[in-house]
Amino acid sequence: MTLLEKKITFEKELIPGENAVLKFIGIEGYDVYNCSIPFDYKGKKYIYGRVEKPNEWARSRSMLFEETGKDIWTKVNNSMIYQIEDPFISFIKDKLVLGGNFVFYREKGTFDTYQCLFYRGNDLEDMYFFAMGPDYMKDIRLVEMPNGKIGLFSRPRNNEIYEKFGTHSTVGFTIINDLDELNPRIVEEARYIENIFQKDEWGGVNQAYYLENGMIGVIGHKACFLTEDTGNMAPMAYMNVSFVFDPNTYNVLDQKIIATRKSFPEYRGKTSHIIDCAFASGIIMRKDGKCDLYSGIGDSAEGRVVIDYPFEAYGKIIDFSEIK
- Please enumerate in sequence order all residues whose Cβ is within 8 A of that of 103, keeping only pairs 6 or more positions apart, or say none: 58, 85, 111, 113, 114
Average pLDDT over residues 77-82: 95
Q: Which CATH architecture fits 3-322?
A: 5 Propeller (2.115)
User: How much is the average pLDDT of 265-280?
Assistant: 94
- Per-residue pLDDT of 170-190, as tens digits, reads 999 999 999 999 999 999 999
Q: Which of 91, 137, 93, 99 is nearest to 119 (CA)?
A: 99
Measured CA to CA, the distance from residue 170 to residue 100 in angstroms comes to 19
Q: What is the pLDDT of residue 123?
A: 93
pLDDT digits (tens, 9 = 90+) for 103-153: 987 766 667 789 999 999 999 999 999 999 999 999 999 999 999 999 999
CB-side neighbour CA atoms (13 Å) of 64: 20
Model pLDDT, residue 21: 98
Question: What is the predicted pLDDT for the residue at 106?
Answer: 73
- The SS3 assignment for 147 reads helix
User: Which has more pLDDT, 47 or 107?
Assistant: 47
CA distance 323 to 214: 15
The span from the CA of 277 to the CA of 191, in Å, is 28
Tell me the pLDDT band of 16, cut-offs 50, 70 and 90. confident
Q: Is the dihedral of CA 107, 110, 116, 120 positive or negative?
A: positive
**Amino acid at position 67, single letter:** E
205-262: pLDDT as tens digits: 999 999 999 999 999 999 999 887 766 678 899 999 999 999 999 999 999 999 999 9
Is the distance from CB of 216 to CB of 247 less than 8 angstroms?
Answer: yes
What pLDDT was estimated at residue 231? 67
pLDDT at 94 (0 to 100): 87
Residue 72: pLDDT band (50, 70, 90) is very high
